[in-house]
């Protein structure tokens, strides 16, 4: 399979097409997982005429293999651990605690940088679409949903441009729906499906959120540029 998406904006527009049935609902909130999920979610929220907000999640990278997720944390003290990875790598409680502490500090920094003093958008009783730029292990999304459920939304939809085949089974009983534009059998990493997968910056995240805050309810949304 060739590159499916030009960049995260293109991925968001394609994902929005798969979510078109939700367009115009007055109870709809789109939550992005920063940083990479924000430009994707921006396009989804714009196309669906929805409110956009963030749900900060941090991957817990293994001590000697930072790209390997041994779990994730999210806003609201949510924690998801990949027990099989912890056992395989023989990660000690002390090593795990050090990583969790470091990532909690970064999570707090990002919350302040992106949101400032603004409170989270209320989601109780609403339909919430949780968006990232792709899914590999699912740890970040699991942590995000753990945090989100404590805020009592009526319905949770997991939405990503790309995920491994069968990924939806991990969310049965947790999310009400799972939407992925592509689910290849052969999956090495999210970046293989993007032509441009440069890291999203804090400035880009802040720009998307600033534009979204000025959207008028139930009106076609503007562009990020």
Per-residue pLDDT tens digits for 136-169: 988 889 888 988 988 899 999 999 999 999 999 9
**DSSP per-residue codes, 79-131:** EEE-HHHHHHHT--HHHHHHHHHHHHHHHHHHHHHHHTTPPPPP-TTSEEEEE
Beta bridge partner(s), residue 53: 31
Comparing 75 with 155, which gets the higher pLDDT? 155
Mean pLDDT of 57-67: 86
| Range 94-110 average pLDDT | 93
Residues 204-224, mean pLDDT to the nearest whole number: 73
pLDDT(119) > 90: no
Least confident range from 113-117, 191-195, 212-216: namely: 212-216
pLDDT at 115: 82
Q: What is the pTM of this model?
A: 0.84
**pLDDT attached to residue 220:** 47
Give the model's pLDDT for residue 22: 96
| pLDDT over 80 (residue 134) | yes
C-alpha of 49 from chain center: 19
Q: What is the residue-averaged pLDDT of the chain?
A: 90
How do the domains of the chain map onto residue ranges?
8-56+118-213
pLDDT at 213: 86
Mean per-residue pLDDT for 5-11? Answer: 97
Q: CATH: 3.40.50.2020, 2.60.120.620, 1.10.1740.10, 3.90.330.10. Which one for 8-56+118-213?
A: 3.40.50.2020
């Amino acid at each position: 399979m060739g590159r499916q998406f030009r960049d995260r904006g293109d991925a968001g527009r394609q994902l929005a097409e798969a979510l078109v049935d939700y367009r115009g609902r007055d109870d709809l909130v789109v939550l992005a997982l920063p940083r990479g999920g924000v430009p994707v979610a921006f396009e989804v929220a714009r196309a669906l005429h929805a409110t956009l907000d963030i749900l900060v999640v941090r991957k817990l990278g293994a001590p000697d293999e930072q790209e390997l997720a041994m779990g994730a944390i999210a806003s609201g003290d949510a924690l998801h651990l990949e027990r099989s990875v912890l056992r395989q790598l023989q990660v000690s409680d002390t090593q795990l605690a050090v990583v969790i502490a470091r990532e909690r500090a970064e999570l707090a920094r990002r919350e302040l940088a992106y949101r400032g003093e603004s409170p989270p958008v209320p989601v109780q009783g609403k339909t919430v679409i949780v968006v990232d730029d792709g899914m590999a292990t699912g740890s970040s999304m699991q942590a995000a949903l753990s945090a989100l459920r404590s805020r009592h939304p009526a319905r949770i939809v997991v939405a990503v441009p790309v995920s491994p085949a069968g990924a939806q089974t991990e969310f049965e009983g947790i999310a009400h729906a799972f939407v992925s534009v592509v689910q290849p059998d052969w999956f090495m990493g999210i970046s293989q499906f993007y032509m441009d997968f440069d890291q999203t910056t804090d400035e880009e995240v802040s720009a998307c959120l600033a534009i979204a805050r000025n959207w008028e309810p139930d009106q076609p949304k503007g562009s990020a540029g």
